[in-house]
């Protein structure tokens, strides 16, 4: 009875409902703690009934995509308030930061994916999922045209249309080839789980090909030349993973060709990891040099054939070529065709990604939101609104501002224009009044002789802090959670707006604008060493950061199942090494 009682209590703790089929408790010595994994075989949630019977009063929310932004939105949304339908080409969520680990077998592909139906079935209200591709968004009629992606049944793919009241676009982006000839045909990309699996097979193929008899040494060298294009986080991490895979596992299995292996990393810029602190950039380049990875900066790829890759030196303009066995292309993101077509409809044809306002609403389109890699926020500049800000603050219409008048709108200014707060932090200032130190101000007497020209001068450099948010999982996840909270409070905030003052217009904005909080970033460099850059200019490089990386990535898994599998894969790799089977 005591065991059964413990089982029921633990089951409720992990899944908020008692119908669990099993509970596995595993003591993980390496982490010094307890890892509990629970799995449910059956869950009796909301009845699967036609929405026309129960949801006729609910607004329909259609979500396109099941990546970081879409899944975060679904996990945080109170689905009992809406009729929610999801359309995506893949029926799972993938933990994409671990894709480089999948390419070399450090982590198995199925360990980083969680079925989307399993994620949404735990919600209060029913969420319906369609495994299909969105081929067209009809903004005028609020319809989404879809086509099934299943490869069963008839040759023709089923097409259907979904109506919506609110549309949430989270389709991500595709690799950016910059129209370089031969890239699409001859290079691997690293955006999806299938890409990582293809790369893994290709690596083994290169080694098996180089081991065949009757090949010349030059032919073997060609097969074993691995080229990574792009010195960003993904390219650097893949190069590091590949180096570890080769030197820790494959050289033992292919000893005759171990001296012919070469890994090249090509970057058009002056340095790799140029979005990181300079200390990390220098360390990464030095470590790769010691590891034998050939890092070529200032080298732009101009063409890729089926046998060679052609590069142009940025300084000299000299073009050279090199034979290769495999090329992995990791140089940024491009626009998906469905987004290109949608942007033409709403007057954004000359853009690379969808433009949204600070509330993630697509500009030029009603009740449509865009999150993640397919969109960017057009942050409004302070200097564009400086006149209306001054008028709103100058309550007595005297033509000058007092300290009290400025203090009354400080919070609204910093909330409406996030770049103000960022600027103050960078300048180590407490509030906007510190910006006005050159004006005639007496803070004790609460008097301030500040006209509009003086205000312009004080805030003139604030907009310089505006930067586009990076296309990362961290940004997308925060955007999804933010938008879900807005939807959850939609009705409440219509009556009691919680946003800042409308400097152009009356009243307040319904919600606070989205503000990204950066929690740091990692750059695994191989050899159980990782570079970590955290808020506050804190940089850590080495083995301790690697264990921090393990902890963070394990904790960020979307389920206990994937958390257990990822930790298990890491443990297996430590004990047995990586599997080199071509499956």
Segment 375-423, tens digit of pLDDT: 999 999 999 899 998 898 888 888 888 878 888 888 888 889 888 888 8
Average pLDDT for 118-140: 94
More confident residue, 303 or 464: 303
Which residue's structure tokens are 């060709």?
257
Average pLDDT for 542-557: 97
Cβ neighbourhood burial of 293 (10 Å; 0-12, 13-18, 19+): buried
Average pLDDT for 120-147: 95
Interatomic CA distance for residues 284 and 530, integer angstroms: 9
Query: What is the pLDDT at residue 8?
Result: 44
Interatomic CA distance for residues 326 and 199, integer angstroms: 9
- Please provide residue 107's backbone torsions phi and psi, each rounded to the nearest 5 degrees: -130, 140
What are the tens digits of pLDDT across the range 187-201?
999 999 999 999 999
What are the tens digits of pLDDT across the range 206-236?
999 999 999 999 999 999 999 999 999 999 9
3-class state of residue 429 by DSSP: coil
Residue 548 CA: distances (Å) to CA of 65, 99, 103, 303: 30, 18, 22, 39
| Residues composing the chain | 583
3-class state of residue 73 by DSSP: helix
Query: What is the pLDDT at residue 504?
Result: 87
Q: How sure is the predictor about 182, in pLDDT bands with cuts at 50, 70 and 90?
A: very high
Among the residue ranges 82-96, 312-326, 450-464, 485-499, the one predicted with the least confidence is 450-464
Mean model confidence pLDDT for the chain: 88
What are the tens digits of pLDDT across the range 51-106?
444 455 899 999 999 999 999 999 999 999 999 999 999 999 999 999 999 999 99
What are the tens digits of pLDDT across the range 267-277?
999 999 999 99
Query: What is the pLDDT at residue 174?
Result: 95
- Quick one: angle between helices 386-393 and 403-416, nearest 10? 140
Q: What is the percent of the chain with per-residue pLDDT over 90, rounded to a whole number? A: 70
pLDDT at 528 over 60: yes
What are the tens digits of pLDDT across the range 144-160?
999 999 887 666 688 99
Query: What is the pLDDT at residue 368?
Result: 98
Please indicate, yes or no, whether the overall pTM of this predicted structure exceeds 0.85. yes
What are the tens digits of pLDDT across the range 1-23?
444 443 444 444 444 444 434 43
Contact (CB, 8 A) for 121 and 135: no
Average pLDDT for 114-132: 93
| 247-285 exposure pattern, b = at least 16 Cβ within 10 A, e = fewer | bebbeeebeebeebbbbbbbbbeebbbeebeeebbebbb
- Quick one: angle between helices 560-576 and 543-555, nearest 10? 150
What are the tens digits of pLDDT across the range 25-59?
333 333 433 333 333 333 333 333 344 444 558 99
Among the residue ranges 47-51, 260-264, 363-367, 450-454, the one predicted with the least confidence is 47-51
More confident residue, 335 or 410: 335
More confident residue, 425 or 362: 362
Query: What is the pLDDT at residue 28?
Result: 36
Which residue's structure tokens are 């408790």?
25
Query: What is the pLDDT at residue 447?
Result: 53
- Please provide residue 186's backbone torsions phi and psi, each rounded to the nearest 5 degrees: -120, -5
Query: What is the pLDDT at residue 234?
Result: 97
What are the tens digits of pLDDT across the range 497-515?
999 999 888 899 999 999 9
Tokens for 143, please give them. 């319809």
Query: What is the pLDDT at residue 52?
Result: 47
Sheet holding 521-526, edge to edge: 521-526, 529-534, 538-542
More confident residue, 311 or 505: 311
Q: Which residues contact 285 (CB under 8 A, 6 or more apart)?
A: 271, 272, 295
Name the CA dihedral angle for 414, 420, 424, 425, rounded to a multiple of 10 degrees. 90
pLDDT at 449 over 70: no
Query: What is the pLDDT at residue 142?
Result: 97
Average pLDDT for 516-539: 94
3-class state of residue 515 by DSSP: coil
More confident residue, 418 or 345: 345
The conformational region for residue 36 under phi > 0 = left, psi -120 to 50 = alpha, else beta, is beta
């Amino acid at each position: 009875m005591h065991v059964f009682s413990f089982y029921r209590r633990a089951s409720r703790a992990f899944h908020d409902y008692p119908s669990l089929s099993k509970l596995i408790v595993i003591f993980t010595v390496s982490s010094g703690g307890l890892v509990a994994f629970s799995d449910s075989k059956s869950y009796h949630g909301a009845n699967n009934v036609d929405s026309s019977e129960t949801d006729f009063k609910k607004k329909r929310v259609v979500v396109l995509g099941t990546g970081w932004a879409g899944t975060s939105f679904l996990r945080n949304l109170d689905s009992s308030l809406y009729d929610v339908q999801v359309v995506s080409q893949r029926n799972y969520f993938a933990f994409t930061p671990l894709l480089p680990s999948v390419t070399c077998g450090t982590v198995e592909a199925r360990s980083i994916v969680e079925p989307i139906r399993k994620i949404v079935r735990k919600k209060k209200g029913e969420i319906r999922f369609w495994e299909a591709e969105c081929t067209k968004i009809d903004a005028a009629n609020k319809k989404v045209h879809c086509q099934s992606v299943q490869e069963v049944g008839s040759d023709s793919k089923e097409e259907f249309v979904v109506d919506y009241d609110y549309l949430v676009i989270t389709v991500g982006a595709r690799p950016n080839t910059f129209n370089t000839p031969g890239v699409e045909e001859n290079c691997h990309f690293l955006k999806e789980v299938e890409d990582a699996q293809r790369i893994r097979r290709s690596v083994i193929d290169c080694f098996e090909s180089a081991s065949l008899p009757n090949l010349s040494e030059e032919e073997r060298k060609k097969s074993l030349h691995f080229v990574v294009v792009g010195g960003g986080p993904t390219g650097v991490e893949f190069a590091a993973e590949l180096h570890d895979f080769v030197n820790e596992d494959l050289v033992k299995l292919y000893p005759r060709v171990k001296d012919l292996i070469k890994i090249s990393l090509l970057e058009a810029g002056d340095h790799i990891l140029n979005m990181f602190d300079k200390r990390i950039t220098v360390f990464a380049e030095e470590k790769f040099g010691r590891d034998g990875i050939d890092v070529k900066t200032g080298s732009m790829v101009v063409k890729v054939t089926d046998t060679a890759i052609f590069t142009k030196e940025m300084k000299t303009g000299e073009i050279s070529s090199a034979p290769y066995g495999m090329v992995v292309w990791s140089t940024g993101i491009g626009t998906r065709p469905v987004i290109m077509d949608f942007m033409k409809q709403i007057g954004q044809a000359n853009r690379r990604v969808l433009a949204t306002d600070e509330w993630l609403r697509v500009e030029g389109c009603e009740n449509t939101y865009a999150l993640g890699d397919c969109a960017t926020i057009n942050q409004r500049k302070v200097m564009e609104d400086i006149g209306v800000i001054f008028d709103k603050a100058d309550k007595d219409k005297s033509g000058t501002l007092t300290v009290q008048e400025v203090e009354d709108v400080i919070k609204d200014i910093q909330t409406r224009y996030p770049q103000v707060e960022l600027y103050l932090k960078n300048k180590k200032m407490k509030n906007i009044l510190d910006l006005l130190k050159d004006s005639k101000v007496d803070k004790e007497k609460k008097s301030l002789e500040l006209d509009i020209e003086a205000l312009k001068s004080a805030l003139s450099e604030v907009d310089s802090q505006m930067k586009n948010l990076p296309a990362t999982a961290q940004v997308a996840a925060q955007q999804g959670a933010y938008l879900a909270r807005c939807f959850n409070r939609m009705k409440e905030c219509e009556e009691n707006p919680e946003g800042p003052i409308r400097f152009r217009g009356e009243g307040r904005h319904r919600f606070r604008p989205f503000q990204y909080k950066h929690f740091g970033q990692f750059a695994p460099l191989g050899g159980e060493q990782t570079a970590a850059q955290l808020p506050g200019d804190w940089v850590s490089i080495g083995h301790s950061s690697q264990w921090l990386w393990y902890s963070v990535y394990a904790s960020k898994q979307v389920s206990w199942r994937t958390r257990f599998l990822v930790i298990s894969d890491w443990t297996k790799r430590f004990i047995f090494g990586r599997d080199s089977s071509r499956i």
